[in-house]
Amino acid sequence: MSPRPDIAWSRQLAGTSASAVVLWIFAGTVVMAAHGAAGWWLMQERPAPASMPEPAAIMIDLAAVPMAPAAVEEQIAPDEVDAEAAEDVPVETVEEVEVAEAVEPVEPEKVVEAEETPPEAVEPVETAEAVEPEPVEPVEEQVAALDPVELPLPQARPEPPRKEEARREKPKEKPRRKPEPAKAKQKPSAETRKAQVQAPAEAPRAAAPQNSSGASASVSPARWQARVASHLERRKRYPAAARRQGQQGTAQVRFTIDGSGNVQSVSLLRSSGVPALDEEVVALVRRASPVPAPPPGVNRTIVVPIRFSMR
């Protein structure tokens, strides 16, 4: 007959609880043993030794090094022997006492006082007595008296003989007769003077067209126009008012000439925009007349641009 299930479960539970109790007891014993061993090890650790106090300072008084007095040198005559130099006195130095550091506190030792050694007295140097030089008697200069010597006086140079100047009697000039005053010339009439003034002025103008007409016969039309432009450019004047104001521009002028180059008419073809420059262009063509004579068969109405620039 099989046992009851509740009785079997209670038996199994009782066996399990007994083994668990044993395990817990064993674990607690191990933990307690570990803690006890750690506490015992900490109790056995030696305390750290206290820091040793620093040894007391030892004062040592050192005696000042004696200084030998400087020897006084006296000047001695050059004939005497030099004095002997004073001997240096050796000075004993006190050695410092080396103190070994001890682990245990050591009682301070007594300060060792250095014995002062008195410097030896320096024997005074005997200085030789200076020999006084004997006074030297002044030597009297003996000057031999010289006999007075008569010096010859310089003789005056003889004056050179003057040349006898021949006196010539000047011939008496005959009185000249004064010329009679010329009769007053008749004053030229006003018409005569006007003709004389106009004649020299017209002569160059008449000669210039004749010369230019002969030279222009063999000149091409393009070269002749370049000569006319160069002729006008040399006689161009920049108006002062326009120069001060910095006014610039280019104007075109048209003028007609005859066969000799004389300007017949002039007009402004294109304005430069500045009235002063336009007036100067027209005045320039009139002032430059006559211009180089045109070659035969060329149009005598010319258009020339005149440029005014500050550059």
**pLDDT of 219:** 81
Q: Are 114 and 62 in contact (CB under 8 A)?
A: yes
Q: Name the percent of the chain lying above pLDDT 70.
A: 41
Confidence of residue 184 (pLDDT cuts 50, 70, 90): very low
Helix or strand holding residue 165 (H, E):
none
Identity of residue 77: A
Question: Across the chain, what does the average pLDDT equal?
Answer: 69
Quick: pLDDT tens for 196-212: 544 444 444 444 444 45
* More confident site: 64 or 187: 64
The answer to whether the beta carbons of residues 58 and 109 sit under 8 Å apart is yes
Task: With CA atoms as reference, report the closest residue to 64 among 118, 109, 120.
Answer: 118
The residue type found at 216 is: S
Q: How confident is the model at residue 58 (pLDDT cuts 50, 70, 90)?
A: confident
pLDDT at 223: 92
Give the residue with greater pLDDT, 150 vs 288. Answer: 288
Which of 3-12, 37-46, 110-119, 202-211 shows the lowest per-residue confidence on average (mean pLDDT)? 202-211
pLDDT at 151: 59
Instruction: Give the model confidence (pLDDT) of 136-163 as tens digits.
Output: 655 454 444 455 556 556 566 666 656 5
Model confidence band, residue 30 (pLDDT cutoffs 50, 70, 90): very high
Q: What distance in Å separates the CA atoms of residue 305 and residue 286, rounded to the nearest whole number?
A: 15
Closest CA to 278 of 288, 291, 290, 268: 268
For the chain, domains (ranges, CATH) are 240-311 (3.30.1150.10)
pLDDT score of 250 more than 50: yes
Is 80 exceeded by the pLDDT of residue 253? yes
The pLDDT of residue 255 is 93
| % of the chain with per-residue pLDDT over 90 | 29
Looking at residue 297, its pLDDT comes to 87
User: Do 256 and 263 touch, CB atoms closer than 8 A?
Assistant: yes
Give me the pLDDT at residue 19, please: 83
Pick the range with the lowest mean pLDDT from 165-174, 184-193, 243-252: 184-193
> 250 versus 5: which is more confidently predicted?
250
